[in-house]
Amino acid sequence: MGIIYRCDKGAPLTSDEVDGNFRELEQRLRELEKLPATRGVHRVIQQKDTLVFEDAAGLELGKAKIPIIALNPRGTWKSKEDYAPNDVVTHENAAYLCLRHHKSEKFGQGDWQVLFKPEFEKLEGGKVTVPQNIKELK
C-alpha cells in the first residue's frame, strides 16, 4: 500500500488511512535499516591534483583539490636558527622538512621529516661517494 495524501484524496483522512500511512512509513524505515551504510567515505583516490571520495558501492561522494604546500628552502641546517613548518634544509647528505617551529643547538629528528635520503655507493677501500643528484638547497 502507498501513502495516502489528503490533498490527493480531496477530503480528510480516516483514522484507518492515517494508521496505514504510519505503517507504510515504519515498513519503509525497517527496509532502509537493513541496508548497509554505503554513503560514508570508503575509498579515496588521487586523480592528478584532486582527491575523489567514493562510497562502498564505488559511487562518487565528492572531490577536493589537493592544496599546494609552499616549501621554504633554507640551505644547510645551522644550530640556534629559528625554523618554521615547511622549511627545508640539508643535513648529513639528506633533505629534511621542518614539522614545527623550533630553535635547537643540535639536529633533532623529532622536529624534521626526511624528504630525500640517497642511497650511497660504497667503493673499494670502504670509501663512500655521494650521488650526483645531491645538491645544496639555496
Report phi then psi at 23, rounded to 5. -65, -40
Residue 67's pLDDT band (boundaries 50, 70, 90)?
confident
Task: Judge whether 135 and 125 are in contact, CB under 8 Å.
Answer: no
Query: What pLDDT does residue 120 have?
Result: 61
* 85-107 pLDDT, tens digit each: 999 999 988 999 999 999 988 99
- For the chain, the domains span 72-129
Q: How far is CA 47 from the centre of its chain?
A: 13
- Residue 126 pLDDT more than 70? no
Task: Judge whether 22 and 38 are in contact, CB under 8 Å.
Answer: no
Angstrom distance (rounded) from CA 121 to CA 101? 34
Edge-first strand listing for the sheet containing 50-54? 43-47, 50-54, 60-65
How many of the other CB atoms lie within 10 Å of CB of 87? Answer: 22
- Residue 79 pLDDT more than 50? yes
The dotted CATH code for 72-129 is 2.10.10.90
Query: What pLDDT does residue 74 have?
Result: 96
Residue 14's pLDDT band (boundaries 50, 70, 90)?
very high
Contacts of 133 (CB under 8 A, 6+ apart): 118
- What's the pTM? 0.48
For the chain, give the mean pLDDT: 85
Query: What pLDDT does residue 71 have?
Result: 93
